[in-house]
Chain A
């Protein structure tokens, strides 16, 4: 009897009362998850406001997917608690599930069915009234530019089209929160930017809160706020602008014949702490070393630097800080190198999955 009451509630606007009270749509407190001995998520706490685009940024294995899995009730937290749309993620799973849409990191479409059938199936699972299903399907298909392909089997779609279809599917039941776990991984730049357009549109059209993970720094800039996560811990949480300002100035990158000597000389003459970066990242050729330093005002420091250094300089550049720099600052590592490998792995996995089909 009690359960029936819940079911009834799901057809209405879920959690309306609870939302009105709290400004946040997701509240997480000391959420922790262990995998036999390994702490994948370590006491993370944060809140996400309604209609916010909130990003989780972090390298391979940082705990992004694990956090999402807990928030969408697929994984039980070891300790800690979370409330989504006014519902407890541990005790009110059905209500939480009805409130969210999710695009998983790995593909989850039935490629033997058509695009519309996938949407229809989803709509039925999420109690979308029969007479609205077709119209909603047309609407979301249009949004992701797949109107023409609705009746085609998903099997015949490209990777980017499948990804867009998954996003469309996540919107079929008008969720309050849409989780996107690395929505653009392995996609070409056009598709990536069109997906971002959709995400921004969502915020306008559907009053939706978007929670996404990414390891593309430039993409993270699209978020209203970003949590930088590393080894299961949130190491910083702010708007992209504030995070970059936290570096306090500009970034100068400089290639010298003898990078170590240049670093020491800069320290001696200017008092700036510079770091030597091997190969990857900002160096032009993989074998080259470059040095990187943060200065309060690049435009004034740069000319002096060039004039006064006795070590031979091959090239020098000044730019505003990026989130990459923020991550480097906080963790002493770069996020990019790890990500490149990871993308290759992802692609390999997807190919394998495709090849194995019957």
Chain B
């Protein structure tokens, strides 16, 4: 009970901070919107892309961009532990009479909540990309977004145990998050991709997340993996990431 409450407190603080920060809420939608409406529109009307499964490019990329939103929001939210450390607040939490793992778990859950919320905001823009949404669809997507978000925030917390300052984050962004996003097939169909890219995509967790979202959002889309497999892979990964990151955090803090 006390543990549960500790997790809730950490979660509550992060959500308060997030919802107070309007610039961050809407600012983080900036690049997804640019991707869809400028890149999506531009590329879609210039090239004839194969492997879109009968959808136009904007429709095709929308679930991918949704994946991107969750990826970035999730990692950003949980890497905030690094800020907390830098600005001292982490100490206030560490010295409190609650086990350290509750802090890490609280961060993972709050990060996932924030990421899923950002995903839902993004979803509201779906009609502009020619993707039909309904409350039912959102309800179907939400668990999937949470699942993807959990694997990302788990990674974020793990990263935070390694990163001592926010300066190292740029590296992570360029050499980890961006490749993960592009390799996942969020932006283009992997059907015609060269072998090396195709092989990489199989080990990119985001591939499965994006594939699942596409399967759910685009009716009759020919997905890469069966939905059950997507869910299984992302689910296992999330469980693993959460366990590893929470353990690592408790050990080093």
Residues of A that sit less than 8 Å from B by CB? 7, 10, 72-74, 94-95, 97-98, 102, 104, 106-113, 117, 121-122, 124-127, 353, 356-357
Contacts and interface: CB of A to CB of B under 8 A. Distances in A.
Contact of A73 (B16, B20, B95, B166): B95
B121 interface: no
B13 interface: yes
A171 to B, nearest CB: 14
Given A72-B95, A74-B91, A74-B94, A125 B86 contact: no
Nearest to A166: B92
Contact of B95 (A74, A110, A353): A74
B248 interface: no
Contacts of A124: 5, 9
Contacts of B13: 110, 113, 121
Given A97-B96, A124-B5, A112 B17 contact: yes
Nearest to B167: A356
A104 B93 CA distance: 12
B88 A125 contact: no
B89 interface: yes
A225 B126 CA distance: 69
B1 interface: yes
A180 to B, nearest CB: 14
A7 B2 contact: yes
Nearest to B103: A125
B17 to A, nearest CB: 5
Contacts of B88: 104, 106-109, 353
Q: Top 7 closest A-B pairs, CB basis?
A: A108-B88, A97-B97, A125-B96, A98-B97, A108-B92, A124-B9, A94-B97
A125 B1 contact: no
Considering residues A107, A108, A117, which has the most beta carbons from chain B within 10 angstroms of its beta carbon? A108
A97 B13 CA distance: 21
B19 to A, nearest CB: 11
Nearest to B94: A74
Contacts of B5: 124
A125 B16 contact: no
Nearest to B99: A94
A357 B16 contact: no
A110 B94 CA distance: 14
Most buried by A among B1, B88, B95: B95
Nearest to A97: B97
A357 B91 CA distance: 17
Contacts of B17: 110, 112-113
Contacts of A95: 97
Contacts of B166: 356
A39 to B, nearest CB: 23
A243 B141 CA distance: 71
A121 B84 CA distance: 15
Given A73-B95, A97-B97, A112-B20, A125 B87 contact: no
A100 to B, nearest CB: 8
Contact of B97 (A121, A125, A353): A125
8 contacts: A98-B97, A107-B87, A108-B91, A111-B87, A112-B20, A112-B21, A125-B93, A125-B98
Contacts of A97: 95-97
Contacts of B93: 125
A357 B17 CA distance: 14
A130 to B, nearest CB: 11
B6 interface: yes
A113 B16 contact: yes
A356 B92 contact: no
A126 B96 contact: yes
Interface string B3-43: 00110010001001100110000000000000000000000
